[in-house]
């Protein structure tokens, strides 16, 4: 971990969802490319990868402005979100990332509060939490819809820290996107960059530590400065 944090304990962990808890980014990419074609926006693959971690509103507003799409933002979002929900509901194999449940269970045993902070809409977060079985572990779930500025702004991580009752300087974030890592660092938090090939070629160089699997993170857990907190810490959704 970086020098400014080396004397500070980790008292809470905040997870991004897509590409971190579930390998959902390839599914979104397929749906988004179909939506880009539907609305006549010739978005390149490189530009598309740059949207990982940002809210749908931000992505589509950029596309509307750059490609002069004449359809209102609200209509595009409704069309896109309907297709995402239909695809995810019908998907037979939505499973958690390998090794993540063991890591989460260990955090619970240590009484470390955790949260999900995702740019995805609330309905999609709840759907994925239910289908993967991870919902039982996450009482605190934050969406980009609940804060003023989405990633790479720090708003969602600062709100998550407040919900779990932990100072930002004592929080650890796990992120798979350049935008998410930037948001975590701007929030004054430590960040683990998770290299997920399904999230595209993401520059995670600003992360304090970079990993490629939860097995790799498991081997590091005893080297990270975790501090147990009271098991009766108030938690709210």
What tokens appear for 67 in the block? 């490609």
Distances from the Cα of 214 to the Cα of 7, 93, 110, 133, angstroms:
25, 20, 17, 17
Distances from the Cα of 110 to the Cα of 104, 156, 230, angstroms:
10, 24, 9
Q: Under 8 Å CB-to-CB from 107, ≥6 apart: which residues?
A: 13, 114
Active site residues: 16, 18
The answer to whether residues 109 and 228 touch, using CB atoms and an 8 Å cutoff, is no
């Amino acid at each position: 971990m970086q020098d400014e944090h080396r004397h500070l304990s980790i008292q809470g962990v905040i997870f991004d969802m897509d590409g971190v808890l579930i390998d959902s980014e390839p599914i979104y990419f397929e749906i988004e490319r179909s939506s880009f074609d539907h609305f006549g926006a010739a978005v390149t693959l490189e530009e598309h990868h740059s949207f990982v971690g940002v809210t749908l509103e931000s992505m589509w507003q950029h596309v509307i402005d750059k490609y002069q799409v004449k359809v209102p933002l609200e209509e595009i979002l409704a069309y896109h979100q309907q297709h995402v929900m239909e695809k995810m509901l019908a998907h037979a194999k939505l499973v958690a990332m390998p090794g993540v449940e063991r890591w989460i269970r260990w955090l619970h045993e240590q009484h470390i509060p955790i949260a999900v902070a995702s740019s995805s809409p609330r309905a999609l977060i709840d759907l994925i939490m239910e289908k993967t079985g991870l919902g039982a572990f996450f009482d605190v779930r934050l969406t980009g819809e609940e804060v003023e500025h989405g990633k790479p702004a720090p708003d969602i991580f600062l709100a998550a820290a407040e919900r779990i009752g932990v100072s930002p300087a004592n929080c650890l974030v796990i992120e798979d996107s350049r935008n998410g890592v930037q948001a975590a660092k701007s929030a004054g938090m430590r960040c683990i960059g998770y290299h997920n090939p399904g999230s595209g070629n993401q520059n995670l160089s600003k992360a304090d530590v970079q990993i490629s699997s939860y097995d790799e993170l498991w081997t590091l857990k005893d080297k990270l400065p975790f501090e147990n907190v009271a098991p009766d810490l108030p938690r709210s959704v």
